[in-house]
Structure 1
Amino acid sequence: MTRPALPAGFLRLPVTHRALHDRAQGRIENSPAAIRAAVEAGYAIEVDVQLSADGQAMVFHDDELDRLTAERGPVSARSAAALGQIVLTGGTDTIPTLGAVLDMVAGKVPLLIEIKDQTGVMGETDGRLEAAVAEALAGYAGEVAVMSFNPHSVAHMARLAPHIARGLTTSSYDPDDWAPVPAEVCERLRGIPDFDRVGASFISHQGNDLTRPRVLDLRAAGVPVLCWTIRTPEQEAMARQIAANVTFEGYLSALPA
């Protein structure tokens, strides 16, 4: 299986979590304003994607609209056009498509795309969101990588876009935090058993769990270890003792000279 290397920019530039969001400035997470701010600042960008009812990849974290908009219900029940009319609470932006975000970033900084689990239990997916991501990325020339907590999603990307670097988003998988994912699935995923099966070339691991033996073993084998989500310079200093890079929010991580 082809295993594309993680582009170098992801190891050089700190990664903004859901772009450079700041609600006080009207820049909502994953919004065009937050993406433009990250590009202008020169940071790498992490965004999340969910699937619209008509099969488009939408840049939005939650599977429900409730937390971030005045609307209610699942993202997957609305068309891309309808979602594109929904204003993000606290700002003036609406929910963008992945294609629109790619046009905004345009290769100026690296873009890390997290494919959100569509099953609720980290189960086998139907591949529709992954296909939408692969379609949006066709011909994109900038530094880009994809990742997911769901190994099935990463396996789909290996088939659909084998030339794009792919990784696993990983965690301590405390079952209390992951309901309704079954405890036995948490136990399995905790060991990162699918890394080779899906042809992953990196992981992005929970920042306060970086001393897990499996993470250290992957690092020792030369696998790039990114981490999430770092919220203070002090946390960053600790994380960088192990991680090759950080995904941050709530402060400005130092850019390389």
Structure 2
Amino acid sequence: MPGLSRSSHALVTGGGRGIGREVAATLSRAGASVTVLGRNREALDAVVAEGLAHFAAVADVADPAAVNSAIAQAAARHPIDILVANAGAAESAPFVKSDAALFRRMWEVNFLGVVHATQAVLPSMKATGRGRIIAIASTAGLKGYPYVAAYTAAKHAVVGMVRSLALELATTGITVNAVCPGFTDTDLLSGSIDTIMRKTGRSRDEAVAELAKHNPQGRLVTPAEVADTVLWLCGDGAGAITGQAIAVAGGEI
């Protein structure tokens, strides 16, 4: 896997847990300076205290003013040349019970959260002529799943934006890609497992198997597998990779 220069400054949204935490740790180990951004100051500070990142910034990605302020403060330390827009949320409900408020929540966090962070980092990337923008989407951005129409719609939007923005920035030295994990072993997935158990009476092992069956390898994806894909996209060797939606899903896509 590529090493990164300490002069590289990576900002990882949703960096306090799950995939974001693992991405921060992986980029930090590769040599980058890493800022983790999220809503939970305690979780972010723990990531820094454990040596998995260097700085923490608190903001809700659905709030553009807060995102702009937090990213400006982070960039004041050193220009940001890597953005990993990872923050997200998942809620499930039958379509007929998915009201407008649910669709808005999924849209604001999963799609507009990516937009806000990307717009905040782009000017400095354009000025320096290099950047890596990586959105953590989902296999739900590439196919449908039942009972998560709002989440799936937002993730499809992320993939569409990535494809369009990559073309817009193709000659600037900035690449734009999406990484699309399948069901991944994180605390976010634990919420889905708890829902399956509550609604169906299945055991935890049975609930995990219900999700893992989507993966032809018969298992959950690990956060480290997602983070290694991000690291590769950050390296110089991936300079010709842009506008892609890369599934990390054991062959599901």
TM-score (norm: length of structure 1): 0.38
Choose between structure 1 and 2: higher helix proportion. Answer: 2
TM-score (norm: length of structure 2): 0.38
